[in-house]
Structure 1
Amino acid sequence: PNGTLITYEEDEMEQALISGIAFNRDEAKLTIQGVPDKPGVAYSILGPIGDTNIEIDMIIQNIGADGTTDFTFTVHRNDLQEAKDVLTKVSNELGAREVKCDDKIVKISLVGVGMRSHAGIASKMFKALAEEGININMISTSEIKISVVIDEKYLELGVRTLHSAFDLEQELV
């Protein structure tokens, strides 16, 4: 018969497709605490890091009620000492409270399509990790992945938990 066929594909097309889990053990986290919060502070911190050609991955800035900010970012583990040296100098120049480093972290990512537009994926990921007592230190989302930074000791448990929560095969990406 002639005419237009109307179907309900929206649910299928909007469905996020998780293709796997990736993890990275080669990251370290740096935090500069108690930085006076004013315009240009992010540049004051990241500019000198960029000048050394250190690649930065995830970034978090927390604004405190006392007019200061804490700024946390991740770098490759091999760049940790150089980044710490630069950040310590910057910290002194900015009058920050302290610099903290952590090289016992790991980044785990759910990889797929339509990740950012599906809040349910992130909440399911966070709930699964929480139920195993795994604390999330940092979160990053994009259209193709949701990444979390957790303590390195939880890598295997975290990956297994997410494989189970999202019914993925036990094959690591």
Structure 2
Amino acid sequence: MDLAHIIMARVAYRDPALATDDDRASARHFFASTTPRLRETFRREARWLKSYEEVADYCTTGEPLPPRLESWIKNQRRGKLCEMQLALLEDLPIWEWHPRREAWNARADDLDTFITRHRRLPRIRATDPDEQSLGRWLGHQRRRLNRGRLDILRARRLTYILDRV
């Protein structure tokens, strides 16, 4: 999506805050001479930009995303995106290509910190809810490890952490 596409997409969406009068005049002339398929492409790009701008606005306010935009973000990982869309998404502070991997690594870091601090494994029957949660997570990961269902990199990391106890 180049700059001309962005201008046309914004005009196609008919968002007056995003397009100048000259843009609208150019778009009317352009759309009059294009095919319905091309017009739909511009409308689709405009919808993409509108959703992106909504997400970016939420990022600046610090408020949680509404479910519709959470779903939109999730769907972007599956879609075919141009270089500009990829760059825009990567600029968002909430964007992660592999959120599950990053969540697993964060949990492994929590386990490593807990073991370093307490010199023992977290207990499921602890009074601290964070320790209980970490203990349940560890139990699940150990079951997956013992059944051979844990990714090799995760298995290595978990084994390394557990070997220190």
TM-score, normalised by the number of residues in structure 2: 0.25
Which structure: larger Rg?
2
Higher RCO (C-alpha 8 Å, min separation 6): 1
User: 1 or 2, which has the higher strand percentage?
Assistant: 1
User: 1 or 2, which has the higher helix percentage?
Assistant: 2
